[in-house]
Amino acid sequence: MTLSNEFVPSRIKSTDPLHEQWNLTLAEREVFRRRAREARLAKDAAAAGLGGTPLHPVNVPMFNPDDLMPQLTRNGLSTLSLFSGGGGLDLGFDRAGFDHQGSWEILPAAAETLRRANPSWSVYGGDDGDVREVDWKPWRGNVAVLHGGPPCQPFSNAGKQRGASDPRDMWPEFVRAVLQTRPEVFVAENVAALASATFSDYVEDNIIRPLERHYQIRKVLLQAYEYGVPQVRKRVVFFGFRTKTLAKRWAAPSPQYRRVGDERSDLPTVVGAREALGLPDIGFDDVSPTIRSGLSGPRHTTSILSSVSAQRRFEALQIWPNGVAATRDAASAYVTKNGHFRLSVADVALLQGFPESWRFAGATYMQLGQIGNSVVPPVAYSVASSVAAALR
């Protein structure tokens, strides 16, 4: 017999080695199960043509992230990519002209996304992609840039912020790869919380101190909408330069766009989420709130909601942030209860700055996880371009 306050495990086996279950009682799990059952029934009804009368025709987006990152000529500079995920950094560096040498990613579906996008790339996925198992020394002296986004869950405001005591903390692995390969430049991205006072000791002990003898380290905070992508998404990027000369030659990426209503600069205004998605004018538009990060949340979900304030912004935009559909056709057929626009995976990818040509692999929640975990590609492009300029 299960006591009412006893935790029970989920019946769904996780496909993500980094997935951490929530501790839930039977009654609490039943609430989620009932919601999932209802959603499944509604989705099946929609697929059978019983999903209500579509309020919006299938949307035709007005925003093309390709315009923000035109392919630059090859610069002959090689890159290694660690913790590659769905490939935001990989795409940005590729478009900025770098030569991709290899990607390492533990999740098979994410590795498949990278292979699909670029069949000629060397992609190490699943067990072969586990950076903990790689000896980087053979690469020593042959790498211009080593980049990566170690998992952010140990530091994220949405998580338990256990830092170094979280088994998912992979910063020591990133540092090991840098010390073994000794690239000209390293680039590492993470949630903005890692740059906060909470983690200043962590950053000093685990990033700065082990690397500062060999690298000039710089840290910048970058906001996605300032690079043309209609989303509030602030991230920290660490840059490490092998020499003082290189560090001096480098200029941090500078904002290219401003948000509607921000009168502090005369930069062009970034497109709003509704306009980007090609939705009808409702007299209000703005950038999307931050799209939920990660595959390793409490449960597999097709919701992109990250906070209560995000929920309010989605409501004002009349965009429904839950039950994201696999395709635009499926989204249009599956009418939301409040009449707000239902998103598809392709729409979420667009709000994250991925072009339509970048096709994610795996189940819907898995694709959304790769998107929400990624560096916004046009931001990655600006980062990569700034590094290329210093290395030339």
Ligand X SMILES: C[S@@+](CC[C@H](N)C(=O)[O-])C[C@H]1O[C@@H](n2cnc3c(N)ncnc32)[C@H](O)[C@@H]1O
Contact residues toward ligand X (CB under 6 A) are: 18, 83-89, 104-107, 110, 129-132, 149, 151-152, 170, 373-375
Give whichever of 174 and 241 is closer to ligand X, judged by the CB atom. Answer: 174
Give whichever of 107 and 178 is closer to ligand X, judged by the CB atom. Answer: 107
- Measured from the Cβ of residue 134, the count of other Cβ atoms closer than 10 Å reads 20
Instruction: Answer yes or no: 152 catalytic.
Output: yes
Give whichever of 33 and 132 is closer to ligand X, judged by the CB atom. Answer: 132
Give whichever of 81 and 336 is closer to ligand X, judged by the CB atom. Answer: 81
Annotated catalytic residue within 107, 152, 188, 376: 152
Counted residue by residue, the chain has a size of 392
Minimum CB–partner distance for residue 86 and ligand X (Å):
5
Do residues 358 and 91 make contact, with C-beta atoms less than 8 angstroms apart? yes
Residue at 353: amino acid letter: G
Give the closest residue to 262 by CA, choosing from 229, 235, 287.
287
Minimum CB–partner distance for residue 286 and ligand X (Å):
25
CA–CA gap between residue 113 and residue 179 (Å, rounded) = 29
Give whichever of 87 and 228 is closer to ligand X, judged by the CB atom. Answer: 87
Contacts of 125 (CB under 8 A, 6+ apart): 105, 106, 107, 108, 110, 111, 112, 114, 115
Give the closest residue to 95 by CA, choosing from 111, 113, 116, 118.
118
Burial class (CB in 10 A: 0-12, 13-18, 19+), 204: exposed
Minimum CB–partner distance for residue 81 and ligand X (Å):
7
Minimum CB–partner distance for residue 345 and ligand X (Å):
15
b/e per residue, 72-101, with b = 16+ CB within 10 A?
A: eeebebbbbbbbbbbbbbbbbbbbbbbebb
- Residue 26 token pair: 């039977």
Distances (CA, A) of 164 to 174, 198, 201: 13, 12, 11
Run of H or E including 277: helix 273-277
Do residues 93 and 103 make contact, with C-beta atoms less than 8 angstroms apart? no
Minimum CB–partner distance for residue 143 and ligand X (Å):
17
Give whichever of 227 and 334 is closer to ligand X, judged by the CB atom. Answer: 227
Minimum CB–partner distance for residue 244 and ligand X (Å):
28
Task: Return the active site residues.
Answer: 152
